Structure 1
Amino acid sequence: MIHATLHQLKVFETTARHGSFTRAAEELMITQPTVSSQIKQLTTAIGLPLFEQIGKRLYLTDAGQELLTTSQDIFGRLDNFEMTVADLKGKKQGKLRITAITTAKYFVPRLLGSFCQLHPDIDISLQVTNHHDMQQRMHDNLDDLYILSQPPEGIDLHTAPFLENPLVVVANVDHPLAQRRKIPIKALNGEQFIMREQGSGTRQAVQKLFAKYRISVPVRLELGSNEAIKQAIAGNLGISVLSYHSLTAEGGMPELTVLNVAHFPIQRQWYVANLATKQLSVIAETFRDYLVEESRPFQTRLNDSLLAIAS
């Protein structure tokens, strides 16, 4: 192992992440034979196979999995060292990798934009995905920070709340309930509903509330995105429960309205999280603190909007 080079470890880490020599070569902008040669040399140095091939995909052996963990730790520490040196020089520069749950796309880019203006030398990668894929990224230790509304069970995380995530009932402006104020939750019984996919945090919160008050609704559609649900509501296919943040995008949709239903909004929270075993870089800590501080104006506007709906 003492003869392994950083370049070989980088080639290995990229290959392991993609499960493919070809895709690793594309990312690293080298030839596939070069990737194969570097992996072969590394395998010889270690004395154990690192991959096994099943069909067209590569899978890590036990030794390969251990080496992947070691490689990620080495590159993470080197990145942190570079960022620490930059910080000692009075600069903030380096890489910041963030994964956010889908609904967070309505406000996170704006916060990132102002952060980048303060620290223009930071290279930021933002992935937007669902709960299932986010948990996989956590298992693979691919990111510095995660922005989510429901921390998963079984993964040791450090979390910090920074913004409320209220879930509200949304209908077409022509829906009969849209003309009513202070709607009892029982009025939702039998209403055609559009739900998020199974496993969605929003759906779980709705089902929990409906079970508490014995509300039964037929699920007319099951959709995997807030944008698709909003279009379905605009098309008079039913009503739904959405994060209020998904309704505040630029331009909005005049066909939609928030219903003033008892026991709504369902109060949830946005969190910024990191793996408990991961040492955060200077940049990740700076952004986490920035997120908590700069979300306060968002919270004030959110409170004002919800008060207007309830009045």
Structure 2
Amino acid sequence: MKNVTFRQLRVFTEVARHLSFARAAEALHLTPPAVTMQVKELESQVGLPLFERSGRGVSLSTAGEYYLVYAKRLLATLKDADDAMARFQRLETGLLTIGMVSTAKYFVPRLLARFREEHPGIDVRLQVSQNREQLLDLLHANECDLAVMGRPPKELATRAEPFAAHPLVFIAPPDHPLLRFGHPPLEALAPYPFIVREPGSGTRNAMERFFKEHRFAPRISMEMSSNETIKQAVMAGMGLSFLSLHTVGLELRSGLLHLVDVEGAPVMRSWNVVHLLSKLLSPSAEAFRYFILEEAEAYLVAHDTPLLSAGADR
């Protein structure tokens, strides 16, 4: 495998990411035949098929699954080398990869738009993980420069810096009986079903800690891995839920959902920007880290305060 190129590895990992030659070609700005050729050349060098082809679909072969681990390591090491050289030159250019939990997608893109206005030479890739556990896998594999998440990981050696408050709230449909009470105790929620995030998500962990502290056992009727699906279920009158305030801003402003001003709520947590201690940040990553520590809190306070005030006044 002495003649394997980094270009071939990039193409291979992109096909493995999408399990589609056409989508990989689109992401890499190549033609599908060029992608196919690169993969065939790599398979020739390896001496084994890396993908199993069935009609128009592809999947990783057993050898491909193993090879993907090493390909990602090699590409991550190359990026670390590029970042180290960029630090010597103080270049704010190149690719910045930001991983985040799904809840952060409701505000991080807006912050990134402002960041790009100040740093137009930086290309940004967002890696949205369905939950906290998936994001930890990205960090562990060195597949993102920085991560935006709630509870800092204890499983990895990281530097975690809090940058803003993260309110988590109880929500209900507009006609729910609980909304007739100004400030109901937590026990008032006992008769009603709850629609909650799946185990492993930061929101689920925060909810469980809050309930444990108050010795309250909710009636969990459904578990879902999508904030959007949970909101739709609550709006349909299927139950109450506990979500990040950032995820429900549009629905609260339009009256499709209401806050339940439960005693002890909102539950306040913190947002953190995180990176591996072993990772040497590139100038572009340092620039975004500095930006989010300086700018994010004021932005989120400006968007969260009206929502919380409206919930308290209702």
Give TM-score scaled by structure 1 length: 0.82
CA displacement at 1:60 relative to structure 2:
6.1
User: Root-mean-square deviation (CA), in Å?
Assistant: 3.2
| Structure of larger gyration radius | 1
Partner SS state of residue 267, structure 2: coil
Paired residues of 1:84 and 1:282 also in contact (CA < 8 A): no
Equivalent residues in 2 for 1:2-13, closer than 5 Å: 4=3, 8-13=5-10
How many residues are paired up?
A: 298
C-alpha deviation, 1:65, in angstroms: 5.0
Quick one: percent identity of the two aligned structures?
Answer: 31
| 8 Å CA contact 1:12, 1:39 repeated in 2 | no
CA shift for structure 1 position 23: 4.1
Match of 2:255 in 1: 254
Amino acid in the other structure paired with 2:99? T
**2:70 is aligned with 1:73:** no
Which secondary structure state, in structure 1, belongs to the residue aligned with residue 172 of structure 2? strand
Q: Match of 1:216, SS?
A: coil
Query: Matched residue of 2:292: which SS?
Result: helix
C-alpha spacing 1:63/1:232, structure 2 compared with 1 (3 Å):
closer
Counterpart secondary structure, 1:268: strand
Aligned to 1:95: 95
**Inter-partner Cα distance in structure 2 for 1:18 and 1:153:** 32
Q: Which residue of 2 aligns with 1:46?
A: none
| 2-structure distance, mates of 1:309, 1:31 | 53
8 Å CA contact 1:106–1:249 kept in 2: the answer is no
Paired with 1:310 and 1:17, the residues of 2 have a C-alpha distance of: 48
Aligned 8 A contact 2:86 2:283 in 1:
no
Q: Write the mapping of 1:1-311 to structure 2, written as runs, cut at 5 A.
A: 4=3, 8-16=5-13, 18-19=15-16, 23=21, 26=25, 29=30, 30-38=34-42, 40-41=44-45, 56-59=60-63, 68-82=72-86, 85=89, 87=91, 92-131=92-131, 132-249=133-250, 252-301=253-302, 302-303=304-305, 305-306=307-308, 309-310=311-312
Greater Cα shift, 254-263 or 25-34? 25-34
The Cα shift of 1:77 comes to 1.4
SS of the residue 1:219 aligns to: strand
Task: Report the Cα offset of residue 152 of structure 1.
Answer: 3.4
Distance in 1 between the 2:268 and 2:283 partners? 32
1:178 CA displacement = 0.5
Alpha-carbon distance, 1:209 to partner: 2.0
Which stretch shifts more, 105-114 or 126-135?
126-135
Q: What per-residue deviation string (whole Å, max 9, x for no partner) do you get for residues 99-149 of structure 1? A: 111111111111101111111121111122222332232232211111111
Change (3 A) 1:250 1:262: closer
Residue 59 of structure 1 aligns to a residue whose secondary structure is helix
- The 3 A distance-change label for structure 1 pair 245 and 173 is same
- Secondary structure class of the residue paired with 1:240: strand
Q: Secondary structure at the match of 1:255?
A: coil
Distance 1:176 1:158, change over 3 A: same
User: Would the aligned equivalents of 1:51 and 1:64 in 2 still touch at CA under 8 Å?
Assistant: no
Deviation at 1:276, TM superposition (A): 1.7
